[in-house]
């Protein structure tokens, strides 16, 4: 996504050096449409500079601080030396994240989506989450619920959530499901106990996955899964319920998996 407006003084921007002169360097701003800034030689690096090319090269990606913006004369003054290593690293990561989010928009809505639609959805993300990437990340973790307070349509939300859960890697996600276990066998209590052990994985759950099964109220049991990504969590959730259901089924019982509680939680 490229912004059509102007950067603000004090803002950090990512750009590519496209021309080097004795008096400084011109930087094509990657985040702003048709915007180019000038970094005077005195702002390229600290100390006396004999040759600008000793410090930067054409085609190099840099992070610069916006010093002044003169829209009337179409001039943006930049400083490369005023950006420390921590700021540079954070800004580059933010920029890379937004590039990913831009690609996810194309996946969700097609590469030929109208500019107006793109801008409308992007603005909803920016207003609600501060960035498009954070919007997709929250959609991957919390699903449709994350986008409830936006003005996006149901169809748009579904497309975003589906794309997010297919593409976004997040530190971890939590998912919850329920399984109703019934067994008419005379040893039903023991069989249910065995079913719950099976649901918990019998010690074979991967270390990166945290799976917990708790009693809610007969015949309902809650399964909570914490995993590195949505696909893994959802897979282990369904497999857990399936294992429990298979145990009771062997003894004439039934197991029914569902995502919502059947009764009010206490």
Residue 7 lies in a domain: no
What CATH number does residue 117 fall under? Answer: 1.10.150
Per-residue pLDDT of the chain (266 residues; tens, 9 = 90+): 677 789 999 999 999 999 999 999 999 999 998 999 999 999 999 989 989 999 999 999 999 999 999 999 999 999 999 999 999 999 999 999 999 999 999 999 998 999 899 999 999 999 999 999 999 998 988 888 899 999 999 999 999 999 998 998 877 888 899 999 999 888 888 999 999 999 998 778 887 789 999 998 889 999 999 988 888 889 999 999 999 999 999 999 999 999 877 654 44
Contact (Cβ atoms closer than 8 angstroms) between residue 251 and residue 191? yes
- CATH number, domain containing residue 41: 2.40.50.140
DSSP state of 34: T
For tokens 């929250």, the residue is: 138
Last residue of one domain, picked from the residues 44, 61, 83: 83
* Same domain? 66 vs 138: no
Compute the distance between CA of residue 140 and CA of residue 158 in angstroms, rounded to an integer: 11
Token look-up 């005379």 returns 186
Tell me which residue has tokens 């497309």: 159
- Domain of 207 in residue numbering reads as 173-258
User: Residue 231's domain is classified under what CATH number?
Assistant: 3.30.70.1130
Residue 265 inside a domain? The answer is no
Q: 109 and 33 share a domain?
A: no
- Same domain, yes or no, for 201 and 150? no
Pair 142, 205 in one domain:
no
Residue 263, domain member (yes or no): no
φ, ψ for residue 258, nearest 5 deg: -155, 160
The per-residue DSSP string of 70-117 comes to ETTTTEEEEESTT--HHHHHHHHHHHHHHHHHHHHHHHHH-TT--HHH
Q: State which of 83, 110, 136 marks the end of a domain.
A: 83
* Residue 97 placed within a domain: yes
| 45 lies in the same domain as 75 | yes
Residues 67 and 135 both lie in one domain: no
Domain boundary among 135, 167, 199: 167
Residue 6 belongs to some domain of the structure: no
Say how many domains are in the chain: 3
pTM to 2 decimals? 0.62
């Amino acid at each position: 996504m490229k912004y059509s407006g102007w950067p603000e003084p004090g803002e950090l921007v990512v750009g590519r050096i496209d021309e080097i002169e004795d008096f400084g360097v011109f930087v094509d701003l990657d985040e702003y449409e048709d915007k180019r800034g000038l970094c005077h030689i005195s702002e390229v690096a600290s100390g006396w500079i004999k040759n600008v090319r000793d410090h930067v090269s054409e085609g190099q990606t840099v992070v610069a601080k916006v010093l002044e913006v003169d829209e009337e004369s179409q001039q943006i003054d930049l400083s490369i030396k005023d950006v420390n290593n921590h700021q540079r690293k954070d800004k580059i990561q933010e920029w890379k994240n937004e590039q990913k989010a831009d690609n996810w928009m194309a996946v969700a809505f097609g590469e030929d989506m109208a500019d107006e639609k793109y801008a409308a959805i992007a603005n909803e993300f920016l207003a609600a989450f501060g960035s498009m990437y954070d919007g997709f990340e929250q959609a991957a973790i919390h699903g449709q619920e994350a986008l409830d307070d936006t003005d996006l349509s149901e169809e748009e939300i579904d497309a975003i959530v589906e794309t997010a859960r297919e593409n976004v890697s997040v530190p971890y996600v939590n998912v919850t499901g329920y399984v109703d276990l019934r067994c008419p066998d005379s040893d039903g209590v023991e069989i249910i106990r065995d079913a719950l052990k099976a649901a918990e994985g019998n010690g074979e759950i991967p270390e990166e996955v945290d799976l917990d099964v708790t009693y809610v109220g007969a015949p309902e049991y809650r399964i909570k899964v914490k995993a590195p990504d949505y696909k893994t969590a959802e897979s282990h959730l369904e497999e857990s319920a399936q294992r429990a259901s298979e145990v009771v089924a062997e003894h004439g019982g039934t197991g029914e998996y569902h995502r919502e509680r059947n009764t009010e939680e206490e």
